[in-house]
Amino acid sequence: TLLLAVSFLATMLTLSSSQVAPLSLTTTTCPLPPELSPVLLTDQTSKLIASTDYGNMVHVQPAAVANPRSVDDISLLIKSSYSCCDPYGVAARGNGHCTKGQAMVRNGVVLNMRSLSNNVGNAGSSNNVVVSPDRTFADVSGGALWIEVLNETLKLGVAPVTWTDLLYLTVGGALSNAGIGGQTFRFGPQIANVHELDVVTGKGEIVTCSANKSSELFYAVLGGLGQFGVITRARIALAPAPQRVKWMRLLYSDFTTFSNDQEKIIANYSQPDSVDYIEGQVLLDNGTPNLWETSFFPTEVVPTITSLVKEKGVVYALEVAIYYNSTNEEIKDQQMKQLIRQLKNERGLAAMKDVTYYKFLDRIPVPDPSIPHSHPWLNLFVPKSGVSKFNDGVVRDIIMRTNITVGPVLFYPMNRNKWDDKMSVVIPDEEIFYAFSLLSQSNVDDWPKYLDQNAAVLAHCEEAGIEVKQYLAGHSTQQDWIKHFGPKWAGFQQMKAQFDPKFILSPGQKIFN
């Protein structure tokens, strides 16, 4: 599918540790600690890998790549920079799935967080996911992938409650943003489901923090874009895992009907009969068969969908899921039937699948590394008050008129009360807001026109007074970041002065550097 046909080199993720760097390494300004020589790579291949991300638009080379063996290695590296009069930058790199160079650093050191396993298990254990005896939480390495968390926790019949769409992201990378998906309306983002963190600050100090202990650091780091510390361990909340999932998509040709139904569903979030997952997609008539959109439906319905999209120019797909076990299948079946009766989708244009919980969560396969593409993505949080205007001006005008969008377009609501305002992440100041994701895919030399489209969307929102906030933002000036953070900027800046006063961490975010 289009989403899968991506250019990111998944095979790049495990950086070769066989290439041992010589002693007396330096960045442009400072020597690197000789004790770390065995884990520092300076060969061109390693540096090229670290200067590429999923976006494939920004390429910035580090002086070296570190494959930390332990939290102490990370602390030593950062302390060494901190003690230098002209410190070098250190960028944690999770799985490199950001799109605007946020995990890169010019002439500094990229920390390959995937090499940091075995830091939460017992000595000698190779685990980077350890479930508590009472199965209510797991201690997870910051470099673990969410798919690894799922694999390990499911063995004990438990799992985290809230997920991203793709599970091949690292725990530390997702928690530095928010970690959103179809469960967010009910359980909040992944950052709202963390009990405790181990963090290496920009001074190289190793700190355990939580809501009760070093809480300033805890809240700053969650959604903190890597600015205050490197997350080396996260304690993630778990709940009993369901066995199976009833998974539906229903089509709408009218936006108001679609969003009303979505909002009706999320209003029920605290009730026992709440659905467990809701997202939504925008189907566009852009002349390209969007297999990912139609493959959910039986083949005999696809021509009807295609002609409806052609006729209307845009169609909306509401996606819901209800989890169940062998013990409650009948009740959940009734619940799904009742829900279907209430929804006002185009009659006949709905399809259902019944899959295992694992298959449902791992529905998006690993990006294909063999086809080079760029991903000039735009992710926005749109306040409910402006969502209809946004649909008219952005979806039904800019995007349809430009007619270049190839790739999924997601559009679904969430409840603000499931987010914690003390955390660094910025969201609209309304009880309900929508995640809108324009997940464009372009040829490697063709992305500027998509960035122009993104800029047109943002300009329209500004003119129309729709107070959107960017998610996974790629602002390039501090002025833009100050505007992004709004009233939170002063606190964000203060936390930076406290925990990374020499501006060492994640300079690729371009907030302070």
Q: Footprint of ligand FAD on this chain (CB under 6 A)?
A: 54, 91-98, 102-103, 113, 142, 164-166, 169-170, 172-174, 176-181, 225-226, 230-231, 367, 472, 506, 508-509
**Minimum CB distance to ligand FAD, residue 232 (Å):** 7
C-alpha–C-alpha distance, residues 231 and 222, integer Å = 9
Residues in Cβ contact with 374 at an 8 Å cutoff, skipping those fewer than 6 apart: 7, 55, 56, 57, 441, 442, 443, 444, 446, 447, 450
Q: Which stretches of 129-170 are DSSP H helices?
A: 146-154
Q: CB-wise, 115 or 345, nearer to ligand FAD? A: 115
* Helices and strands in the chain, H and E counts: 16, 19
Q: State yes or no: is 195 an active-site residue.
A: no
Give the number of C-alpha atoms closer than 13 A to the C-alpha of residue 30, restricted to the C-beta side.
19
Q: CB-wise, 21 or 178, nearer to ligand FAD? A: 178
Closest CA to 381 of 221, 189, 165: 189
Q: Are 88 and 107 in contact (CB under 8 A)?
A: yes
Q: Are 98 and 53 in contact (CB under 8 A)?
A: yes
Residue carrying the six token digits 């505007």: 483
Helix H or strand E segment including 137: strand 137-141
Q: Is 108 exposed, middle or buried (0-12, 13-18, 19+ CB in 10 A)?
A: buried
- E-only strand ranges, 176-276: 194-201, 206-210, 229-237, 239-240, 244-252
Q: CB-wise, 103 or 432, nearer to ligand FAD? A: 103
Residues in Cβ contact with 158 at an 8 Å cutoff, skipping those fewer than 6 apart: 131, 135, 238, 239, 240, 241
**Minimum CB distance to ligand FAD, residue 67 (Å):** 14
**Minimum CB distance to ligand FAD, residue 445 (Å):** 20
**Minimum CB distance to ligand FAD, residue 90 (Å):** 9
Q: State yes or no: is 430 an active-site residue.
A: no
Q: CB-wise, 54 or 492, nearer to ligand FAD? A: 54
Identified catalytic residue from 97, 373, 375, 460: 97
Q: State yes or no: is 484 an active-site residue.
A: no
Q: CB-wise, 253 or 290, nearer to ligand FAD? A: 290
Q: CB-wise, 253 or 509, nearer to ligand FAD? A: 509
Q: CB-wise, 117 or 335, nearer to ligand FAD? A: 117
AA letter at 82: Y
Closest CA to 86 of 24, 22, 27: 27
Residues in Cβ contact with 450 at an 8 Å cutoff, skipping those fewer than 6 apart: 374, 376, 404, 440, 442
**Minimum CB distance to ligand FAD, residue 173 (Å):** 2
Q: CB-wise, 113 or 265, nearer to ligand FAD? A: 113
Identified catalytic residue from 43, 72, 165, 430: 165
**Minimum CB distance to ligand FAD, residue 367 (Å):** 6
Q: Which tokens sit at 20?
A: 């041992």
AA letter at 434: Y
Identified catalytic residue from 261, 279, 346, 362: 279
User: Which SS3 state, helix, strand or coil, does residue 436 take?
Assistant: strand
Q: Are 159 and 189 in contact (CB under 8 A)?
A: no
Q: Which tokens sit at 92?
A: 């944690």
Q: Which stretches of 19-138 are DSSP H helices?
A: 44-50, 71-82
Torsion sign across C-alpha atoms 153, 236, 383, 470: negative
Q: Catalytic residue numbers? A: 97, 165, 279
